[in-house]
Structure 1
Amino acid sequence: MFKKTLAAVAVLGAFAGSAFAANVTMYGIIDTGLGYTSTDKGYGEDVNKFDMRSGQNSASRFGVKGEEDLGNGVKVGFSLENGFNSDDGQLATEGRLFDREALLYVGGDFGELGMGRQGELASGNGRYGLFGGKVSPFSTGWSNIAGHKYVMGAGFGRMDNTITYKTPTFAGFNLLAQYSFDKNVKKDDDANTTGVQHGREGSAETDRQYALGATFAAGDLYLAGIVTQTNKQSVDYEGKSLGEQDDPLTVSLGGNYNFGVAKLYVATQYFKDTGLAVEMIQTGKTGTFDGFGLSVGADVPAFGGTAKVLVGYMDAEDQTSAANDVQRYTFSVGYEYPLSKRTFVYGGAGYYMDSYDKGFDVGYDDKASVAAVNAGLVHKF
């Protein structure tokens, strides 16, 4: 730890030209393995893929974090976290150095206030994510091994220009409020936006999002609930109207309980006018959907490691075309085995199927599916 702290100070000093009095730590995860995926879209030939992959179990990352005690119970801290692909060395997100988190926070008896790029409350990302590994044995998802997000609508990403307030803990409860002035400053570069431009933060020229969350923790029990509303961009950067917009809404509930012999996880979400967290198999469409999803899973200690299982169901109605209504069924199993405190191996298999109420065209099946298997090695430093 001492060596890592000195190294982090040296690295930061190269950027800032000065030394830091705060406690600074470098850390990271490297996850590299092999994966096989077979996709049956319900038309044409199946698509099979076998390759080397990064971040199947835990996204490969590098980070620097630090905290300074200002006295009187007040502290200031930061987190700068970068995602990368360990199989080819590229940035996980083009054009972003700290795509996973770029956060500055201040905390004390009043609670904690954080500002910057950070995870949504309903995600498992960063300092303020309330879901992820807290509501699913597969955390945010093992690559194509279907995790809980496969049966949910939205809320599992990260946002720019975001402020989050977290109350002090009272009788096991915490309340959180989050607001993003502009969810994605790179939106213009996203092919899914068809070139729609946006401008001033906090205005109708951008997508803004607010959320309220609550958690309760006592002994072996953890519960979380989040309500999230997005105000979609309604005018372009010149003030021209983009027409009527459907503002997505999600209500997410989840938690876990450790029984000792097994740890049980539950997650559910109602979503309205959202996309899907994982696109439809047959069309690659995320669309605009109303619906709900539910997943139930467990961790079970076994043979010195941890066995995992999860099942899920989603029912989503497309608001633009009844032909795209879909029910999704998922099943996942996995296993992790520690080689040391910092290194473990993993393997898993998953299957999910989309069942459509109506065919898309003549000759299209009313079902499509994906089966996946992966295995790899994770080292934490």
Structure 2
Amino acid sequence: MKKQLLALAAFTAVSGMASAQSSVTIYGLMDTGLVKETGSDLKMAQFHASRIGFKGSENLGSGYKAIFQLEKRFTVNNGEMSGVDWEGASNVGLAGPFGTVRLGRVNEIETESFSRLDPFGEDGIASILLSTQHFWRISNTIRYDSPVFNGFYLNATYTLGTNTDKESRNTYGDTLKQYGADNDGYALSLNYDNGPLLLLANFSRPSDSNNSTIWSVGGAYKFGGLRVAFGYEKTDDRGWKPHATGSAFSNKLEGVRSKQDSYVLSADYTTGPHKVAAAFNYMKVKDIKTGEGSGNNSDFLNGYDSGDAKKYSIGYFYNLSKRTMLYGQLAYTDFEDKTLARFFRGSQFNGDSVTGVSIGIDHKF
């Protein structure tokens, strides 16, 4: 009996040491509400993507630690999972005085950085119009995040493209090789975030995109509870975009090339539990071409060269507590014509403008 008590005491001591050196956090977000937009019925949808995640670290000593993150995305209204199994994140890495290095599925840094200029975070019906080379997360990636030096910090990623080696590539790889769309990807983001001032500059070349590029600059300044922001984003879409399911194209405009110039001007004001936000977004789409690989659902763009869109968004947010928020949003998008509306909304859309309204609840845990 004495030996058993000694063994139990030793196990308890070792377990206590292990738990002191490592930790795992379970976190999540539940969001759903009602959305009504032009051309669609009233439906349940979300503002922020609902998720459950696990992240942790192990102390390795001398200021170094091992880290990991796993995050699952889903929709609350029907319980369905979205994307790949761990769509939100799936990575492991090391952190120390040098910064952080992670390998796996991570946030795309140009999107992560530029979204801070949109008070709606490029989410929901009030989001600014998204580039056709927009990504929230990317797979098969090495990501580096530097330490912060007087408000300055650097993020960089390198993404491996699809295997297109002659002896091992699959049908998707064959297609990429045929159209010359196979390439590795990389991105760089330089940010200054110190006190009331935020400045950012980003460049990204997505993998397997036929060397499509996107770059952006912008800034924000905070006056007490008021924050104003302005940004510019330029996209050169060469008609290809990697897709999680392995499809050679990711959207309804297969093989369509275009150049996009997007400007955003926004403001938000916070006082106590209340927050009011507004944004104006202007996007010019030009040099539209339907080339090799384009599908029948892009025929409506034949002979169409350019157009512009203006989007106006407002929103109100009320924090019931530190973790629970109610929200309401209203957005109106004015497209130059029906063809450009279909470029953004899909080939079945028949209007030249979109009005949307949403209300919902967001709870973090």
The TM-score bracket by the shorter chain reads: 0.7 to 0.9
- Equivalent runs, 1:56-95 vs 2, <5 Å: 56=47, 58-93=48-83
Distance in structure 2 (CA, Å) of the matches to 1:322 and 1:106: 51
Distance in structure 2 (CA, Å) of the matches to 1:123 and 1:358: 26
What amino acid is aligned across from residue 289 of structure 2 in structure 1?
Q
1:159-207 deviation line (CA, Å, top 9, x unaligned): 110001122222321122211103799xxxxxxxxx95128xxxx8855
Match of 2:173 in 1: 198
**Helix, strand or coil: the match of 2:357?**
strand
**Helix, strand or coil: the match of 1:122?**
helix
1:206-237 deviation line (CA, Å, top 9, x unaligned): 5521111111111111222111123537xxxx
Match of 2:86 in 1: 98
> In the TM superposition, what is the alpha-carbon distance from 1:154 to its structure 2 partner?
2.4
Distance in structure 2 (CA, Å) of the matches to 1:268 and 1:290: 13
TM-score with structure 2 length normalisation? 0.76
Match of 1:319 in 2: 289
Could you list the runs of 5+ residues in structure 2 that have no partner in the other structure?
A: 1-17, 165-169, 175-179, 242-250, 291-301, 342-348
> In the TM superposition, what is the alpha-carbon distance from 1:85 to its structure 2 partner?
0.7
What amino acid is aligned across from residue 284 of structure 2 in structure 1?
D
Distance in structure 2 (CA, Å) of the matches to 1:184 and 1:36: 42
Residues paired across the two proteins, number? 311
**Helix, strand or coil: the match of 1:131?**
helix
> In the TM superposition, what is the alpha-carbon distance from 1:285 to its structure 2 partner?
3.5
TM-score with structure 1 length normalisation? 0.73
> In the TM superposition, what is the alpha-carbon distance from 1:270 to its structure 2 partner?
1.2
**Helix, strand or coil: the match of 1:49?**
coil
1:291-343 deviation line (CA, Å, top 9, x unaligned): 31001111112574100100000111113355152201000000100111111
Distance in structure 2 (CA, Å) of the matches to 1:131 and 1:197: 31
Cα pair 2:323 2:363 within 8 Å, conserved: yes
Asked if 1:135 is matched to 2:117, the reply is: yes
Match of 1:216 in 2: 192
What amino acid is aligned across from residue 96 of structure 2 in structure 1?
G
Please, which moves more after superposition, 25-34 or 115-124?
115-124
Match of 1:43 in 2: none
Relative distance call for 1:322 and 1:259 in structure 2 (3 A) is farther
Asked if 1:180 is matched to 2:159, the reply is: yes
Match of 1:272 in 2: 236
Cα pair 1:355 1:367 within 8 Å, conserved: no
| Bigger Cα Rg | 2
Displaced runs of 4+ in structure 1, greater than 4 A? 18-21, 204-207, 274-277, 356-360
Cα pair 2:181 2:240 within 8 Å, conserved: no
Cα pair 2:23 2:58 within 8 Å, conserved: yes
**Helix, strand or coil: the match of 1:123?**
helix
Relative distance call for 1:183 and 1:213 in structure 2 (3 A) is farther
Match of 1:230 in 2: 206
> In the TM superposition, what is the alpha-carbon distance from 1:67 to its structure 2 partner?
1.3
Match of 1:285 in 2: 253
Asked if 1:340 is matched to 2:321, the reply is: yes
Relative distance call for 1:100 and 1:207 in structure 2 (3 A) is farther
> In the TM superposition, what is the alpha-carbon distance from 1:34 to its structure 2 partner?
0.7
> In the TM superposition, what is the alpha-carbon distance from 1:108 to its structure 2 partner?
1.1
Asked if 1:169 is matched to 2:151, the reply is: no
Distance in structure 1 (CA, Å) of the matches to 2:340 and 2:56: 54
> In the TM superposition, what is the alpha-carbon distance from 1:119 to its structure 2 partner?
1.5
Match of 1:188 in 2: none
Asked if 1:368 is matched to 2:352, the reply is: yes
> In the TM superposition, what is the alpha-carbon distance from 1:157 to its structure 2 partner?
2.6
Work out which of the residue numbers 315, 327, 330 in structure 2 matches 1:349. Answer: 330
Identical-residue share of aligned pairs (%): 28
**Helix, strand or coil: the match of 1:222?**
strand
What amino acid is aligned across from residue 215 of structure 1 in structure 2?
N
What amino acid is aligned across from residue 276 of structure 2 in structure 1?
A
1:239-297 deviation line (CA, Å, top 9, x unaligned): xxxxxxx42111111332211141112221111135699xxxxx953731113100111
What amino acid is aligned across from residue 285 of structure 1 in structure 2?
L
Could you list the runs of 5+ residues in structure 1 that have no partner in the other structure?
A: 1-17, 39-46, 125-129, 186-194, 234-245, 278-282
